Amino acid sequence: MSLLNAQNAQNAQNAQNAQASGGAGASDLMAAALMRTRDAIVGTETIAPQAGQDATLDAAERLRRMEPAFRRAVLLSELLEDIAFQVEDYPQKRATARAVTVLRRKAGEGAADHAPLARITRPEAADLGGAAPLVMAYAELRADRLAEILAQREDLIPFFASILPITPARAPAVIEMLETGLDLVTPVVMRVKIALGCPRPSQFSPLIQPMIPEPGHPTLPSGHATQMFTMAAMLSQLTGAGDPLVSDSQLYRLACRIAINRTVAGVHFPADSAAGAVLGIQLGRYLMARGQGGTVGSASFDGTAFGSANQPRDFHHGVLDQMARGADPSTAFPGDAAAVRPAPLWQSLVGRAAQEWQTRWS
């Protein structure tokens, strides 16, 4: 199942659940029963309309009364309105872009200018082809990681819930916050993927033979990696685990594990995971800055520099640590943090999520 199809399926399920919970209209039998009941107790009386009144709840409280799927659509719209993209071509134009910069709108009343959030530079085909044997070697782990890989095609949040107490009963706002973050990742990562147009591992050798259906979109950055690192960055700031990122934390170790599983499955290169890590961390920081009133800086990933003495580079939490510390030539996290525009509706959800976390022992 592709990233986009997974999101659409989840949205459809959310809408179905919301409709069922509403009672009326949930089934033909209920509709017929309600109609017959009304006929019996209303009769032919003339209606005397009651006096109405204007809404007394603010927008954030009205948002809470909306069905989950529609509430998510409102939040996603608010968050995406400050995101833009800048595509950079090669000096001698090619079919694909050389780099894509994800931009975020600057703070300030009426500000229309944008600042860089994450710049992703495309590796050359030779860089990816050189990493194909590394992907091939990872195939030995497929039997061991089968359950993880299959489960992670469908749902990612339960893996974080095994680390932190964010069950649906205790932390519904935290879960909704994470789900909204996942929704934001999809259109952003797909814009980057389509511009860079990087081929999948199986296109370099018929011996790769992915163990799951290959997604029908370009490979870099990895969508699963971007999603996982977005959520890890969000939870890190929500729980006070720290920012700048603590690459050896359980949150980021988990994100690395799931990113690597996509290489084990044969559908991603390590460079895809590294690019997804940089983009995801930046999206997570952006989301929490808009929700908590903080700042966010820029970052960059250069796929042509993700190597070691002209050899293909692996990706794991040790490599992430080097990237985060500025010890890897492919990655930079400059100290240029600046304020972002607040997102009032999103702030209301993040605030409830923070309150849930603070009272998690109650």
> Which tens digits make up the pLDDT trace of 19-32?
444 444 468 899 99
Q: Cite the beta strand spans of the chain per DSSP E.
A: 83-88, 99-105, 114-121, 295-296, 300-302, 307-308, 311-312, 331-332, 338-339
Q: What is the pLDDT of residues 260-296, one digit of tens each?
A: 999 999 999 999 999 999 999 999 999 999 999 889 9
Residue 172 has which token pair?
A: 């519904």
Q: How far apart are CA 91 and CA 169, in angstroms?
A: 54
Q: How far apart are CA 318 and CA 125, in angstroms?
A: 25
**Residue carrying the six token digits 């050189």:** 130
Query: What is residue 309's predicted lDDT score, i.e. its pLDDT?
Result: 66
Q: How far apart are CA 155 and CA 123, in angstroms?
A: 29
Over residues 54-78, the mean pLDDT reads 90
Q: What is the pLDDT of residues 115-129, one digit of tens each?
A: 999 999 999 999 999
Residue 131 has which token pair?
A: 């990493």
Query: What is residue 243's predicted lDDT score, i.e. its pLDDT?
Result: 62
Q: What is the mean pLDDT of the chain?
A: 89
Query: What is residue 53's predicted lDDT score, i.e. its pLDDT?
Result: 80
pLDDT for residue 213 is more than 50: yes
Query: What is residue 244's predicted lDDT score, i.e. its pLDDT?
Result: 65
Going by C-beta distance under 8 Å and a sequence separation of 6 or more, which residues neighbour residue 326?
A: 332, 333
Query: What is residue 21's predicted lDDT score, i.e. its pLDDT?
Result: 47
pLDDT band for position 11 (50/70/90)? low
DSSP element (H, E) containing 135: helix 132-138
Over residues 174-180, the mean pLDDT reads 97
Model pTM?
0.89
Cβ 117 vs Cβ 104: under 8 Å? yes
Over residues 174-195, the mean pLDDT reads 97
pLDDT band for position 111 (50/70/90)? low
**Residue 340 bridge partners (DSSP):** 106
Q: How far is CA 88 from CA 120, 191, 221, 307, 320, in A?
A: 10, 13, 16, 22, 26
Residue 229 has which token pair?
A: 């690192």
The total of other beta-carbon atoms located within 10 Å of residue 71's CB is 20
Residue 43 has which token pair?
A: 């009769």
3-state secondary structure 103-128: EEEECCCCCCCEEEEEEEECCCHHHH
Query: What is residue 15's predicted lDDT score, i.e. its pLDDT?
Result: 46
| Structure-model confidence comparison of residues 108 and 266, the more confident one | 266
- Which of 31-45, 110-124, 202-216 is the most confident on average? 202-216
pLDDT for residue 343 is more than 70: yes
